[in-house]
Amino acid sequence: MSERVAVFAEGFLHTSNGKAAHGLIRYGEREVVAAVDSLHAGRTVAEIVPYAAKPVPIVATVAEAAALGAQCLAIGVAPAGGKLPPEWKQALLQALALGMHVEAGLHDELGRDADLVAAAAERGLELRDLRRVPDGLSTPSGAGLGVQARIVHTVGTDCAIGKMTVTLELTAAARAAGQRAVFVPTGQVGISIAGWGIAVDHVIADYISGAAERLVLDGAERGDLLLVEGQGAILHPLYSGVTLGLLHGCTPHALVLVHEAGADRIDLEDRGGPPGPVIPPLAELSELLLRLTSPLRPAPVVAIALSTRRISSDDEARTAIAQVESETGLTCDDPVRFGAERLWRAVESGLA
């Protein structure tokens, strides 16, 4: 029987910062028995996050999650800067006291906190740091250009708009079409779902491209079509560095651009900043991405994945999708709302 997990998302389950929880619930192979968020206790995740898809009960405390059989507490929030808020530490210590392993994808590694290390050791439990970087990373060698697998990379107009989700949905659609498709995780949530990968935003800046190349080489041993999860956004003032490192390191053959319907600016306000830069027209951004990939291997944008999660009706969502198709001349769809088959066919055609 697989491990039973509770996701800790105190105060953030309903927000885009709760994406780790959403991903584990929708795509993880382990059973999620509860979400811990006192703000929404007594409801189910499906009631407040419809695209998470499963009616997982929401409880107010870690103790309630343990009573439901949770064997691991996984932090399901991506807080600003990857820091561990001091008030969360008590919840993690409580989980350890109740016999639960603790898992997190933070930049503040659990294994560097003396109190958590002592509590885990006392009970023979694990502290799992999903962002921990493997040894031996360096700059890329160019070996990624020689793999026989075809490489598709998702890129976004902003952070937290569904790049991982699109990558997973495309992987499933490609497998359904008979491809030996591999989801290549580049972030902590994807690693938790797939059980392997490198969180590239935790890598020394000089080695990000080398880490992406290693992922491509590892992925090519697993399948013939690699779908590499995107991170950040190329015009994001805070996170463009990791985006460019991935673009150059994974040497894609094609890109899928992910955008949120109605968004016209990069969102900095949720992190306490001013209004963010204007997002350029998607066709213009696609041209920029092609220029950036061209020095190694030109990778055109072959499809647009549009998140319509903030649009209430299917008809309005289809109108938004049609508008993007008209503006860009590319196939556009929302793979969560309407399935990924049309996007997969566009990707397949773009790789031909």
Which residue type, as a one-letter code, is found at position 256? Answer: V
DSSP 64-83: HHHHTT-SEEEE----GGG-
Total-model pTM: 0.90
CATH architecture of 143-351: 3-Layer(aba) Sandwich (3.40)
- Does this chain's domain 4-129 share its CATH topology with 143-351? yes
Burial class (CB in 10 A: 0-12, 13-18, 19+), 184: buried
CATH code for 4-129?
3.40.50.720
Q: Could you tell me the residue ranges of all domains in the chain? A: 4-129, 143-351
Count CA atoms closer than 13 A to 303's CA, side-chain side. 29
Give the pLDDT score at 290.
98
Please give the structure tokens belonging to residue 242.
């990791």
Nearest alpha-carbon partner for 32 in 63, 60, 8, 61: 8
pLDDT of residue 272: 60
Report how far residue 9's alpha carbon sits from residue 21's, in angstroms, rounded to the nearest whole number.
7
Q: With beta carbons less than 8 A apart as the criterion, state whether 289 and 299 touch.
A: yes
Under 8 Å CB-to-CB from 304, ≥6 apart: which residues? 256, 257, 258, 259, 282, 324, 325, 328, 330, 331, 332
Q: Taking the chain, what is the end-to-end CA distance rounded to the nearest angstrom?
A: 41
Amino acid code (one letter) for 110: L
Cβ within 8 Å of residue 64, ≥6 positions away:
34, 36
Tokens coding 195? 């059980």
pLDDT of residue 273: 67
The 3-class SS string of 289-310 reads: HHHHHCCCCCCCEEEEEEECCC
> Whose structure tokens read 């498709």?
181
The predicted structure's pLDDT at residue 210: 98
What is the structure's pLDDT at 1? 55
Task: Give the containing element (helix H, strand E) for 151.
Answer: strand 150-156
- The closest of 173, 147, 346, 152 to 230, measured between CA atoms, is 152
Give residue 271's pLDDT.
58
Q: Partners of 129 in the beta sheet?
A: 104
> Hey, what are 16's tokens?
């885009």
CB 157 within 8 A of CB 257: yes
- Give the three-state DSSP class for 204: coil
Q: Are 21 and 39 in contact (CB under 8 A)?
A: no
Q: Mean pLDDT of successive 10-residue segments in the chain (352 residues)?
A: 90 87 91 96 90 86 97 88 86 97 93 96 96 93 96 96 96 98 95 94 96 98 98 95 97 98 88 81 98 96 96 96 98 97 98 94
Q: In the block, which residue shows the tokens 């591999």?
A: 182
